[in-house]
Amino acid sequence: MEEKYLNHGEISLAHYGVLFLDELPEFNRNTLEVLRGPLEDGEITIGRATQVLTYPCKFMLVASMNPCPCGFYGSDKECRCSDESIKRYLNKISGPLLDRIDIQVEVSSVKYENLDSDSIEESSEQIQKRVNMARNIQKKRYEGLGIFSNSELTPSLIEKFCTLDSTGRAILGNAFNKLGLSARAYGRILKVSRTIADLDGSEKILDRHLLEAVQYRSLDKKYVV
Ligand SMILES: [Zn+2]
């Protein structure tokens, strides 16, 4: 399998946009590790022989991957990968990188009979309305603070804007111990719950918002081998 690489220019070009990495484990592991800094700081520093340059790169990372090299592990079709090759494949994604991915969702393959289903999905226009509403709530909430979205909340601002009641604290404490989450994941879950509450038009972070955010960390344990 030929490895994929990213150059610094591509990361900076994604500033205020989306960086989509298809088939994440096919990227060179060092290339993926380099992403950790920019994901945290929104900046990328390049050292050349005579100078060091720093470029902005506040991007949203979107990535996809298969459960194994052939893609069939856990599906109706037979996976022919060896345990060793699955392990090697999943090992490309380090725990610290996964820790920085706020929303992790497993998607099963679509069955042929469902390809043509009549179920009514929410339209892009409806979704856009909800997103804009949540964005406006955040813009107003953070007016004068120099930030405009939940993802930019610092630890002290998380404390101020992502308060939980005693049940919420118990839910989070429980998830923290069960999933063995890091302090970084803790803050990230709170920010995601704040966004889910905003999308719901709720001023408070309710239990259901928190539970949904915790559920998005499902791969944290599963894929770190
Ligand atoms: Zn397979």
Residue 8 predicted with pLDDT over 80: no
CA of 91 to the centre of ligand 1 (A): 15
Distance (Å) from CA 17 to ligand 1 centroid: 33
Say how far apart CA 16 and CA 134 lie, in whole Å: 18
Expressed in angstroms and rounded, the spacing between residue 60 Cα and the centre of ligand 1 is 29
CA gap 111, 76 in Å, rounded = 10
Distance 108 CA to ligand 1 centre (A): 14
| Cα 177 to ligand 1 centroid, rounded to whole Å | 31
Angle, alpha carbons 169-171-176 (nearest 5°)? 90
CATH of 8-101, one of 3.40.190.10, 3.30.428.10, 3.40.50.300, 3.40.30.10: 3.40.50.300
What integer pLDDT is reported at residue 222 of this predicted model? 58
For residue 20, the cross-strand partners are 62
Enter the pTM of the model.
0.85
Long-range contacts of 195-198 (CB under 8 A, 24+ apart): 195/134, 195/150, 195/151, 198/133, 198/134, 198/137, 198/138, 198/150
Q: If you measure from the C-alpha of residue 114 to the centroid of ligand 1, how many angstroms do you get, rounded to a whole number?
A: 23
Residue 111: C-alpha distances to residues 108, 114, 115, 117 (Å): 9, 5, 7, 10
Quote the ligand 1 centre to 88 CA distance (angstroms).
Answer: 12
> What pLDDT is stored for residue 220 in this prediction?
58
φ, ψ at 55 (rounded to 5°):
-115, 150
In this predicted model, what pLDDT tens digit does every residue of 79-120 receive, in sequence order?
999 999 999 998 889 889 988 999 999 888 777 777 776 777
Q: Quick one: pLDDT band at residue 1, thresholds 50, 70, 90?
A: low
User: pLDDT digit string (tens) for 114-149?
Assistant: 777 677 788 999 999 999 999 999 999 999 999 999
**Residue 179 and residue 221 in contact, taking contact as beta carbons nearer than 8 Å:** yes
Distance from the CA of 90 to the center of ligand 1, in angstroms?
Answer: 12
Interval between CA 29 and ligand 1 midpoint (Å) = 20
Task: Write down the pLDDT at residue 56.
Answer: 92
Say how many Å lie between the CA of residue 180 and the centre of ligand 1.
27
**pLDDT tens across 179-224, in order?**
888 888 899 999 999 999 999 999 999 999 999 999 998 775 554 4
Quote the ligand 1 centre to 2 CA distance (angstroms): 17
Residue 64 token pair? 């996809």
Q: Tell me the CA–centroid distance for residue 75 and ligand 1, in Å.
A: 9
Give the Å distance between the CA of 69 and the centre of ligand 1. Answer: 5
Which whole-number Å values give the CA distances from 176 to 55, 150, 157, 209, in the listed order?
Answer: 35, 21, 21, 16
Q: What is the pLDDT of residue 224?
A: 44
Q: How far does the centroid of ligand 1 lie from the alpha carbon of residue 79, in Å?
A: 4
Q: Given this model, what pLDDT does residue 47 score?
A: 80
CA distance between the termini of the chain: 21
Average pLDDT over residues 37-43: 90
Q: Where in the chain is the domain with CATH 3.40.50.300?
A: 8-101
- Does the structure show a pLDDT above 70 at 3? yes
Determine the distance from the C-alpha atom of residue 223 to the mean position of all C-alpha atoms in its chain, rounded to a whole number: 14
Rounded to the nearest angstrom, the distance between the alpha carbon of 218 and the centre of ligand 1 is: 20
